[in-house]
A and B are shown apart, each in its own frame.
Chain A
Amino acid sequence: MNQTTKRGYYGEWGGAFIPEVLYETFRELNDAFAAAKADPAFWQEYVSLMGTYSCRPTPLTHAQNLSRHFGGGQIFIKREDLNHTGAHKANNVMGQGLLVKKMGKKRVIAETGAGQHGVATATMAAKFGFACTIYMGEEDVARQRPNVFWMEKLGATVVPVTSGSKTLKDAINEAFRDWVTRMDDTHYVMGTVCGPHPFPEMVAWFQSIIGKEARVQIIDQFGRLPSRVYACVGGGSNAMGVFQGFLDDAGVELIGVEAGGKGLDSGRHAARLAGRDASAGVAQGYKTMFLQNSDGQMTDTHSVAAGLDYVGVSPILTDLWQQGRVRFAAATDREVMAALDMTMKNEGIIPALESSHAFVQAFKEAGEMGSDEAIIINMSGRGDKDIFTIAHAFDDPSWKEFIRKKGKEYGA
């Protein structure tokens, strides 16, 4: 990683634009994180926890049917869906949980978009005995109902956020407002490689477990490095996770896939780096490329996938994009449904709507590659949580009938 001398910066991106009231809290957090990072025993404890509480190492699956179908590169899928709670989010959350224990705090808060980070945080809080409050945009609460249900059952308080666009960025603002009130006993478990330093570095560190494993696995199973690695990018945590395994391998092309929504020219998307609508800005505590208007007001984003529906993107990825190390593409909502359908039918695997974005771009390119080449798609999570959205998008008649019956049962 091209980290310049100024702390918390990646090229010209990153930083810590925080209100003064949090200065001491960040100083403590930086110290605790630096100590953890310098201590090999901490990483061992983390790996051991992920091996016994989650399903690490997650498998790397050779998707033989899809590979045959496209007749090009060999498609391998890194199965982050098999983590406990069904997504890569568990990696970061359990790591931060260990850090919270070391700092002696008793309460955790988090923002969530798709709900996966919220569920993972609620799970971690239950396991470690922390109080837990999750901030979630009202719009996301509505479209990710199953995850809200599980967070509450796990003992967390879910607070619907009604300000702004009622999505992920607004949940982040609200989590900060909680934190500035209760920083003494509370840690904010930032869910992605965004926000003020040290969060991008910290979350990237915990997620690097994905790439470390994937690198060993592909060499083991395929005999050499992949030609390309694909990952969807909302904030960018699963992408940073898998990319870090291959950043130093110049021959491995890294491709981040953003939410193309209704299309890059529609104004209804969340493509920061693949599109032309984003510009440099400072918000939510860090500097990156934001979808904003000429006054610097953040604009509304759109994606069928709540977890990608975000105005900013990791400062680390923005730097890698600027250096030309990571290529960016976008997948539209429509393409995502087709790729999801194809993956389910051919491989018996149900990727989350977020992860399906990476599949779209891999499918577009697999055919042009030689059969002696391999590609890795990072499947950041499983699609079960999206059952309402996916069923709706497929306009599935038997599902609708089920919902009608349930509605009747509850006297709707």
Chain B
Amino acid sequence: MELNSQIKAALADPEKKILLMTHIVLGYPSLAINRQVIEQMVSGGVDLIEMQIPFSEPMADGPVIVKANQDAIDNGVTVRQCLDFAKEISATYPIPFLFMTYYNILFKFGVEKFFQEAREIGIKGFIIPDLPPEEGEEFFALTRQYGIDPVMIFAPTSTPERMQELSRFGRGFIYCVARKGVTGKQTDFDEEFNSYMQRCRANTDLPLAVGFGISRKDDVDSLIGRADIAVIGTRTIKLVEEQGVDAVGPFIAGLR
């Protein structure tokens, strides 16, 4: 099933006012721990998971995820291992999995070869924060050919015209960056945020995911009615660091 329809089907569940997407950095602290964390996340009720293939230059990420990328690479995790792991995980759980990474990982692997593997694995979408549509001619052609959705990113600085343009390239859902800056800092869900979300909604028909700075049930609650998916990124990485893997399931379950 296409990501978009999967999301719409999940949203049709009256119990679910909003979907939850979580983020993991593959190989941090280890693939073995990733496996346990994902199990906790799925049992806690997560609807989608983005798996970040680590890159040495994660320009759009904040300190926690930067360190996780770096430690994963220092621990020796390879792109090959990430793909093999993703294959196993995707076969184990029914929820959609996405790859998040930077463009060089695809470029160096061979962009088409990467799409082929991702399709075999059953990956539903790609989030590539450093690949604007202007640079992605080959990439966007391949997303259609291989049926993998390119998740486009809206930012508070995006104009309505730009949002519409991005929306034409995007499929699956739109990832709305909640505020300026990098991942991992608190976001104020204030009036300005409200009008930003209205602008997002007005300029695309795709479901809206909101990420950056969402770490508590209050944050998730405040997104109900404004967004379709709440993205929890840095918070679960910190949670595993501070309280261990077993804290993840209850944390996720407590978010809604």
Contact = CB atoms under 8 A, between A and B. Distances in A.
Interface in B147-173: 152-159, 162, 166
A163 interface: yes
A173 B102 CA distance: 13
B59 A173 contact: yes
Interface in B54-104: 54-60, 62-63, 66-67, 70, 73, 78-79, 102-104
A362 B4 CA distance: 61
A24 B159 contact: yes
Contacts of B153: 19-20
A25 interface: yes
Interface stretch (A88-96, A131-139, A282-290): A282-290
B103 A282 contact: yes
Interface in A1-39: 15-25
Given A281-B108, A284-B59, A295-B108, A19 B157 contact: no
A104 interface: no
Given A21-B156, A23-B157, A177 B182 contact: yes
Contacts, number: 112
A183 B235 CA distance: 26
A23 B57 contact: no
Interface stretch (B13-21, B28-36, B43-51, B126-134): B126-134
A16 B134 contact: yes
A24 B67 contact: no
A82 B130 CA distance: 39
Nearest to A7: B134
Interface of A: 15-25, 163-164, 169, 173, 176-177, 180-183, 279-285, 290, 292, 294-298
A26 to B, nearest CB: 9
Most chain A CB inside 10 Å of its own CB: which residue of B105, B131, B181: B181
A31 to B, nearest CB: 14
A89 B197 CA distance: 43
A292 B108 contact: yes
A15 B135 contact: yes
Given A164-B70, A283-B57, A23 B180 contact: no
B177 interface: yes
A20 B158 contact: yes
Contacts of A290: 104
B65 to A, nearest CB: 11
Given A17-B103, A169-B57, 7 more contacts: A17-B135, A19-B155, A23-B132, A177-B62, A181-B180, A295-B78, A298-B56
Contacts of B132: 16-18, 20, 23
Contacts of B55: 296-297
30 contacts: A16-B134, A17-B103, A19-B59, A20-B152, A20-B157, A20-B158, A20-B177, A21-B156, A24-B159, A163-B63, A163-B70, A164-B56, A173-B57, A176-B59, A180-B60, A181-B181, A181-B182, A282-B102, A282-B104, A282-B107, A283-B104, A285-B59, A285-B130, A292-B56, A292-B108, A295-B108, A296-B55, A296-B108, A296-B109, A298-B57
Contacts of B56: 164, 283, 292, 297-298
A368 B168 CA distance: 61
Closest 5 CB pairs of A and B: A296-B108, A21-B155, A181-B181, A296-B104, A297-B56
A20 B104 contact: no
B16 to A, nearest CB: 28
A404 B128 CA distance: 52
B102 to A, nearest CB: 8
B59 A177 contact: yes
Interface string B184-214: 0000000000000000000000000000000
A4 B53 CA distance: 33
A183 B180 contact: yes
A176 B180 CA distance: 12
Contacts of A181: 180-182
